[in-house]
Amino acid sequence: MSSSTDILVTMQLVQKYLYQFVSPVLMFIGTIGCIINLIIFSQRHLRKNPCSIYFIAYNLANFVFIYSSLLPTILSVGYNIDYSTRNIVLCRVRLYITILSNFLSPLYLVLASADRVLITSSNALTRRRSTLRFAYICIACGTLFWTLLHAPVLVLTNIIQVGPNTLICYFQSSVYISFLSFCSLFKATIGLLLMAIFGLWSIKNIRSLQKVRPAASLSATVTKVDTAPHSNSSKDRQLCFILLIDIIIYALFSFTYAINLIYQQITQNYVKNTERTQIESFITNICQFSGTIPFCISCYANLIISKTFRNEIKKILSCQKIFRIH
């Protein structure tokens, strides 16, 4: 009995220290990373590429998620400070923004990966569908869909007392909790599946284009003008690599969260003792922490794999040095 108690106490300490010391560092590097990504992809010459528009939307959603979800969790779990339980409006708005940004971020990755399938196609008509106008329409429609779908959060959320002197900001409708769990499971599984399909499809298209290129060089100039894929440019390939690494990072750290959601759905009607409930709560919090990592490290992965991204940062730093000199 004492052994079980020791394990539970240890898990609580691990969880507390994780959000006291590790999460603030993650939040800091995530904030800097999102700002750098936004500056880079907002450059005029990159902003003409539809994929950059998706990356801008993706990083905006990440930034919002960091401050609507990670920061409050750091305060509540790590330091026992929860402002959302003191004001019903703050409670509802914070939870709504957290859920919305958590759904929008993978949506923009899926849209970006679909755009890369279009731009890497060997068919000129297919490539022409990758436009800035189409990107803005997709982002607007997707954002509007999730914004309206999660609007009930603003009404069905309340400050609930779950124990002596213990308040939480949570949903008061069990039906909506089940609905949101289903949506989260859908996002975690179907979203990852679509990213994987589009990512592999893009790789296949790029390899096909590389095989076609030697043959194209032997054809007539007119033929080359008509069929030469503009997706073969270095910039487009670099954006493909950046997107693929973002998808891999998201999949790696979100996979455990998806498995945990499936487990929760399977066992939601089981009778559980206090010990099992606390263990499952600990695992859920660890999975949620893991799920926040992709929102924070995208920029640093881009620095490692993309020469174009590194060059853009060098250009910005060089411009700042010139301004300082003058």
Distance CA 129, CA 114 (A): 11
Spatial separation of the C-alpha atoms in residues 165 and 107, rounded to whole Å: 38
Q: Alpha-carbon distance 83 to 91, whole Å? A: 8
Q: What tens digit of pLDDT does each residue of 220-273 get?
A: 444 444 444 444 466 777 888 899 999 999 988 888 877 887 787 787 777 778
Rounded Cα distance between 35 and 6, Å, is 42
Give the start-end residues of each E strand in the chain: 157-163, 166-171
Separation of alpha carbons 34 and 47, rounded Å: 16
pLDDT of 158: 92
Q: At what angle do helices 294-305 and 234-266 cross, to 10 degrees?
A: 150
* Architecture of the domain whose range is 2-325: Up-down Bundle (1.20)
pLDDT digits (tens, 9 = 90+) for 169-224: 888 888 888 888 889 888 988 998 999 999 999 988 888 876 665 555 445 444 44
**Cβ atoms < 10 Å from Cβ of 154:** 12
Per-residue pLDDT for 71 more than 50?
Answer: yes
User: Which band of pLDDT confidence, cut at 50, 70 and 90, is reported for residue 5?
Assistant: confident
CA 114/CA 119 separation, integer angstroms: 9
Residue 263, class by beta-carbon neighbours within 10 Å (0-12 exposed, 13-18 middle, 19+ buried)? Answer: middle
